[in-house]
Amino acid sequence: MSMELDVFVGNTTIMDMEVYQLWLDGLTVSDAVKVRMDEGALLECEANPEVLTSDTMDQFRTFQMCERLLHSPTKLGSQLLYQIPAQNQIILIERYYEFDSVFAREVLGKKLSKGTKKDLDDTSCKTGITLKSCRRQFDNFKRVFKVVEELKGPLVENIQRHFLLSDTLARDYAAIVFFANSRFETGKRKLQYLSFQDFAFCAGQLISYWTIGAMGAPTVPDSMMEDMDVDLEKEFLNELKDLKVLVNDKDMMDQHKILVCAALRGKIKVYKLMEVNFKNLSRALINLASKLTHTKDVRDLFIDLVEKFIEPCRYDRWTVAEITLFLTHYTNAAHCLGTFRHQMIWDRYMGVIKSCILQMYHE
Amino acid sequence: MPGKLKAKIVAGRHLPVMDRASDLTDAFVEVKFGNTTFKTDVFPKSLNPQWNSEWFKFEVDDEDLQDEPLQITVLDHDTYSANDAIGKVYIDIDPLLSCEAATVISGWLPIYDTIHGIRGEINVLVKVDLFNDLNRFRQSSCGVKFFCTTSIPRCYRVALVHGFVEELVVNEDPEYQWIDRIRTPRASNEARQRLISLMSGELQRKIGLKVLEMGGNAVVGYLQCFDLEGESGLVVRAIGTACTLDKLSPGTAPNTTTHTNTHTLPNTAPTSNACNSPSKDSKESPLAHGCRSTHNSPVHSTCSSQRLSHSQNFSVSVPTLVFTGMGSGGSVGKEAGPLKTLLRQHTQSALEQREFPIFTLTCFPPGFLVHVGGVVSTRSVKLLDRIHNPDEPETRDAWWEEIRQEIKSHAKALGCHAVVGYSESTSICEEVCILSASGTAAMLNPRFMREGCLDTGGSDHRLSRQPHPGMVGSERGEGEVSSTWLGFEDASPPSCGFVHIPYDEFNMPFPAQLTYCYHCRRQKVPDVLFTTIDLPAEAEVTGKGCLIQARLCRTKKKAQGEVNATSISNLLPFMEYELHTQLMNKLKLRSMNALFGLRIQISVGENMLLGLASATGVYLSALPAPGGIQIAGKTPSDLSYDQHISTMQKRIDDTIAKNKELYNIHPPKLFTLDPEAFTGLNTECIEEVVGSPIPDRQRSSRLFRSTSESSDELSELDLSHGKKDAFVLEIDDTDAVEDIQSLLTDAPIPAGFYSCNTEVMPGIHNWTSGLQMFTSVRVYRLSNANLTNQGLNKIFTDLCENLLKSLYFKLRSMIPCCLCHLNFTVAVPEEELIQVAVTAVAMSFDKETQQAADKALTRGSGENEEQLQFSMEMCGESTISNNQPTAKPSGVPESAMVHSSRAPSVDYGSFADRCSTWLELLRLKAHTIRRGSVKTSRRTQLLAHSVSSSERCSPLPEGRSRSLRSTRSLPCGAPVTVVKMTPLSFLPGTRIVKYLGIINMFFIRETTSLREEGGVSGFLHSFIAEVFAMVRAHVAALGGNALVSYSMKECVFMENPNKNQAQCLINVSGDAVIFIRESDQEAIPPLLTSRQTSSTGADGTT
Average of per-residue pLDDT values in chain A: 85
pLDDT digits (tens, 9 = 90+) for A247-263: 888 888 888 888 888 88
Asked whether residue A124 carries a pLDDT value surpassing 80, the answer given is yes
CA of B1078 vs chain A CAs: smallest distance (Å): 21
pLDDT in tens, B5-49: 999 999 999 999 988 888 888 999 999 998 899 999 999 989 999
What are the start-end ranges of the E strands in chain A? 2-10
Average pLDDT over residues A281-305: 86
Q: Is A187 on the interface with B (CB under 8 A)?
A: no
Q: Which residues of A touch B776 (CB under 8 A)?
A: 7-9
Report the alpha-carbon distance of residue B899 to residue B756 in Å, rounded: 25
Contact B1016 A54 (CB under 8 A): no
Model confidence at B1054: pLDDT above 50: yes
How do residues A80-121 score in pLDDT, each as one tens digit? 999 999 889 999 999 999 999 889 888 887 888 887 888 888
* Percent share of chain B, pLDDT over 90: 21
Phi-psi region of A75 (alpha: psi -120 to 50; beta: other; left: phi over 0): alpha
**Contact in structure between B155 and B992 (CB atoms under 8 Å):** yes
pLDDT band at B358 (very low <50, low <70, confident <90, very high): confident
Task: Give mean pLDDT, residues A283-301.
Answer: 85
Contacts of B971 in chain A (CB under 8 A): 74, 161, 164
Whether the per-residue pLDDT at A236 is higher than 60: the answer is: yes
pLDDT of residue B124: 94
- Chain A residue numbers touching B753 (CB-CB < 8 A): 45
Mean pLDDT for the stretch of residues B995-1023: 91
What confidence tier does B967 reach under pLDDT thresholds 50, 70, 90? very low
Q: Which residue of B has its CA nearest to A42?
A: B809
pLDDT tens digits for range B559-588: 888 888 888 988 898 888 888 888 888 888
What's the pLDDT at B823?
92
Lowest mean pLDDT among A316-325, B339-348, B1012-1021: B339-348
Whether B976 and A47 lie within 8 Å, measured CB to CB: no
- Residue B707: its pLDDT value, please? 31
Of A74, A88, A102, the CB nearest to B972: A74
- The closest of B837, B820, B812 to B956, measured between CA atoms, is B812
Q: Bigger pLDDT: B775 or B304?
A: B775
The helix/strand/coil state of B827 is strand
What number is the average pLDDT over the span B873-896?
Answer: 36
Q: For residue B893, which phi and psi values (nearest 5 degrees)?
A: -60, 150
Residue B1003: predicted pLDDT: 94
pLDDT, average across residues B753-780: 87
CB pairs under 8 A between A and B: 258
- Return mean pLDDT, chain B: 69
| pLDDT tens per residue across span B836-864 | 999 999 998 887 654 544 444 444 333 33
Q: Which residues of A touch B809 (CB under 8 A)?
A: 44-45, 47, 51-52, 55
pLDDT of residue B246: 85
Residue B910 has pLDDT above 50, yes or no: no
Average pLDDT for A23-32: 93
Is the confidence at residue B370, as pLDDT, over 70?
Answer: yes
Instruction: State yes or no: pLDDT of B872 exceeds 80.
Output: no
Give the residue on B whose Cα is nearest the Cα of A79: B976
pLDDT of residue B38: 94
The pLDDT > 70 percentage for chain B reads: 62
Instruction: Return d(Cα B297, Cα B576) in angstroms, integer.
Output: 14
- Establish if A15 touches chain B: CB-CB under 8 angstroms: yes
Mark yes or no for CB contact A1/B780 under 8 Å: yes
pLDDT of residue A296: 84
Give the pLDDT score at A163: 92
Q: Specify the higher pLDDT residue, B655 or B475.
A: B655
Mean pLDDT for the stretch of residues B134-158: 78
Residue B103 φ then ψ, to 5°: -110, -20
User: Does residue A28 carry a pLDDT above 90?
Assistant: yes
Task: Report pLDDT for B729.
Answer: 58
CB count within 10 Å of CB B676 equals: 11
Q: Helix (H, G, I), strand (E, B), or coil: what is residue B734?
A: helix
Strand partners, B614: B549, B599
Partner residue opposite A83 with nearest CB, options B13, B813, B1032 = B1032
| 3 state DSSP class of B212 | helix
A 290-349: CB under 8 A from B:
none
What residues in A contact B1029, CB-CB < 8 Å? 80-83
Name chain B contacts of A106, Cβ cutoff 8 Å. none
CA distance B87 to chain A (A): 15
Predicted confidence (pLDDT) per residue in B590-626, tens digit = 888 899 999 999 999 888 899 999 999 988 888 888 7
For B230: left if phi > 0, alpha if psi spans -120 to 50, otherwise beta; the answer is left
**To 10 degrees, what angle do helices B469-481 and B256-275 make?**
40
Confidence bin at B918 (pLDDT 50/70/90): very low
pLDDT at B435 over 50: yes
Q: What is the pLDDT of residue B687?
A: 34
Pairing state of beta strands B524-526 and B728-730?
unpaired
pLDDT band at B733 (very low <50, low <70, confident <90, very high): low
Contact between chains at B778 and A5 (C-beta distance less than 8 A): yes
What is residue B960's predicted lDDT score, i.e. its pLDDT? Answer: 35
The answer to which of A177-191, A341-355, B250-264 has the lowest mean pLDDT is: B250-264
- Structure confidence at residue B256 as a pLDDT band (50, 70, 90): very low
Q: Which of residues 196-255 of A touch B (CB under 8 A)?
A: 196-197
> Is residue B899 predicted with pLDDT exceeding 50?
no
pLDDT of B518-536, one tens digit each? 777 778 888 888 999 988 8
**Whole-number pLDDT of residue A282:** 87
The nearest CA of chain A is from the CA of B937 a distance in Å of: 6
Rounded to an integer, the average pLDDT of B733-741 is: 60
In this prediction, residue B620 carries a pLDDT of 87
The predicted structure's pLDDT at residue B390 = 62
CA distance A209 to chain B (A): 23
- Which residues in chain B are contacts of A129 at CB distance < 8 A? 931, 933
Determine the pLDDT at residue B494: 58
Q: How far apart are CA B300 and CA B571, in angstroms?
A: 10
Q: Are B612 and B547 in contact (CB under 8 A)?
A: no
Stronger pLDDT, B279 or B589, i.e. the higher one: B589
Q: What is the pLDDT of residue B932?
A: 37
B472-492 residue pLDDT tens: 333 333 333 333 233 333 334
Q: Inspect the interface and report whether the beta carbons of B937 and A98 lie closer than 8 Å.
A: yes
**pLDDT of B898 higher than 50:** no
Which carries the bigger pLDDT value, residue B784 or residue B1023?
A: B1023
- Name the band, by pLDDT with cuts 50, 70 and 90, for residue B393: low
Query: Is the per-residue pLDDT at A60 higher than 90?
Result: yes
Per-residue pLDDT, averaged over A123-152, amounts to: 89
Most B CBs within 10 A among A44, A45, A57, hence the mutation to make, goes to A45
Q: How many CA atoms lie less than 13 Å away from B63 in the CB half-sphere?
A: 9
Confidence of residue B1018 (pLDDT cuts 50, 70, 90): very high
Q: What is the pLDDT of residue B721?
A: 35
Q: Mention every residue, 6+ apart, whose C-beta is less than 8 A from residue B71.
A: B31, B32, B33, B88, B89, B90, B91, B194
